[in-house]
């Protein structure tokens, strides 16, 4: 048995085909867990990971995915909600006066559907197993922006703030069943699909500056002097999923290198 005691635990990782989700899926496998990566892109069974294609915004797709997980594994011990999107845009384009580049209702609906509705649907489906088992861990991947806000990312930040509230509320609802709910709030990390050059360029536009200036600002505001690594997030999630963290619930852990907006 590994030190974390995750041997044969069944872990579901949404957004598990790329970026932070994929890194965490691998980390859980290394600690002995049986991992199901739930992702819109799908994938093939490999290295101890089972891939199930699923649209986390679609109730029927989520129901079918978790039904399949139940049929194959019979239980769910861990849910890690990684699936997320971000479309930087100002509510009003006061820098450039271009209303065509302002945040739209479609931007709002899309980000809320993936970042807020998706975790709700997946947690609801997973909790049905966990309540019956009287054990389980739900980990919500939020963001520093969810607690502190962010220029040009108000919709994204609001969805992450909602995840912080979900974390607090679900911990209170499900604690009586032995279920823990924890949030993990990264700040700036090494490139992911969400942190691509296109994303940085869009963010720079909302701040009336150049992409290089955004990167320079990050380096100044992070006391450790570097961005975070995927493995550092994965290691924390893997620890929180284990019984070594058995008294941690109803809180969100920042992983920021000391970064703040002060």
In a domain, 224, yes or no: no
When pLDDT is averaged across residues 235-258 and rounded to a whole number, the result is: 95
In a domain, 83, yes or no: yes
Residue 172 has a pLDDT of 98
Kindly state whether residue 208 falls inside one of the protein's structural domains.
no
Pairing outcome for strands 34-39 and 251-255: unpaired
Name the residue with tokens 């940085």.
200
Tell me the C-alpha distance between 87 and 101, whole Å.
Answer: 11
Q: What tokens does 172 get? A: 């209170």
Residue 48 lies in a domain: yes
pLDDT in tens, 135-150: 999 999 999 889 888 8
Residue 95 CB-density burial (10 A; 0-12 exposed, 13-18 middle, 19+ buried): middle
Q: What is the tens place of the pLDDT at every residue in 82-118?
A: 999 999 999 999 999 999 999 999 999 999 999 999 9
Please say whether the beta carbons of 94 and 137 come within 8 A.
Answer: no
The residue among 115, 85, 77, 66 whose CA lies nearest residue 19 is: 85
What CA–CA distance (Å, rounded) separates 253 from 163?
12
Using the predicted structure, report yes or no on whether residue 27 has a pLDDT greater than 70.
yes
CATH number of the domain that residue 186 is part of: 3.40.50.720
pLDDT > 60? residue 157: yes
Question: Would you state the structure tokens that stand for residue 257, as one six-digit string?
Answer: 């290198």
Distance from C-alpha of 240 to C-alpha of 135, rounded to nearest angstrom: 14
Long-range contacts (CB closer than 8 Å, 24 or more residues apart) made by 188-193: 188/218, 188/222, 188/227, 188/228, 188/256, 188/257, 188/259, 189/20, 189/227, 189/228, 189/229, 189/230, 189/233, 190/227, 190/228, 190/229, 190/230, 192/18, 192/19, 192/20, 192/230, 193/18, 193/19
DSSP symbol at 118: H
pLDDT of residue 194 exceeding 80, the answer is no
- The answer to whether residue 156 is catalytic is yes
Please check whether residue 200 lies inside any domain of the structure.
no
3-state secondary structure of 162: helix
Beta strands in the chain (DSSP E): 10-14, 34-39, 49-53, 78-81, 136-141, 179-186, 251-255
Structural domain span for residue 152: 10-193+229-255
Tell me if 222 is assigned to some domain: no
How many domains does the chain divide into? 1
Question: Which of residues 145 and 11 earns the better pLDDT score?
Answer: 11
pLDDT category of residue 192 using cuts at 50, 70 and 90: low
Of 206 and 181, more confident: 181
Q: pLDDT at position 181, please?
A: 99
Active-site position among 156, 205, 218, 239: 156
22 in any annotated domain: yes
Residue 195 pLDDT > 60: no
Choose the weakest-confidence range: 9-13, 18-22, 99-103, 223-227: 223-227
Structure tokens at 237: 């999630």
DSSP string, 5-48: --TT-EEEEETTTSHHHHHHHHHHHHTT-EEEEEETT----BTT
- pTM for the model stands at 0.92
- pLDDT band at residue 125, thresholds of 50, 70 and 90? very high
């Amino acid at each position: 048995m590994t030190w974390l005691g995750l041997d044969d635990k069944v872990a579901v990782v949404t957004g598990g085909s790329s970026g932070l989700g994929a890194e965490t899926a691998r980390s859980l496998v290394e600690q002995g867990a049986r991992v199901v990566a739930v992702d819109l892109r799908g994938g093939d069974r490999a290295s101890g990971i089972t891939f199930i294609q699923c649209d986390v915004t679609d109730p029927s797709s989520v129901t079918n995915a978790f039904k399949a997980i139940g049929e194959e594994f019979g239980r769910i011990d861990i849910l890690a909600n990684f699936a997320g999107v971000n479309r930087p845009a100002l509510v009003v384009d006061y820098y450039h006066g271009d209303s065509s580049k302002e945040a739209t209702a479609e931007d709002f609906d899309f980000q809320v559907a993936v970042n807020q509705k998706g975790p709700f649907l997946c947690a609801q489906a997973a909790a049905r197993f966990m309540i019956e088992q009287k054990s389980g861990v739900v980990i919500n991947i939020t963001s520093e922006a969810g607690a502190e806000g962010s220029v040009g990312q108000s919709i994204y930040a609001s969805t992450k703030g909602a995840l912080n509230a979900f974390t607090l509320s679900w911990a209170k609802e499900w604690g009586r069943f032995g279920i823990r709910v924890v949030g993990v709030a990264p700040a700036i990390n090494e490139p992911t699909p969400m942190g691509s050059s296109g994303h940085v360029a869009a963010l720079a536009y909302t701040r009336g500056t150049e992409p290089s200036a955004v990167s320079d600002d990050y380096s100044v505001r992070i006391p450790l002097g570097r961005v975070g690594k995927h493995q550092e997030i994965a290691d924390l999630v893997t620890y929180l999923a284990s019984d070594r963290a058995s008294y941690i619930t109803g809180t969100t852990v920042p992983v920021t290198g000391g970064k703040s907006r002060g």
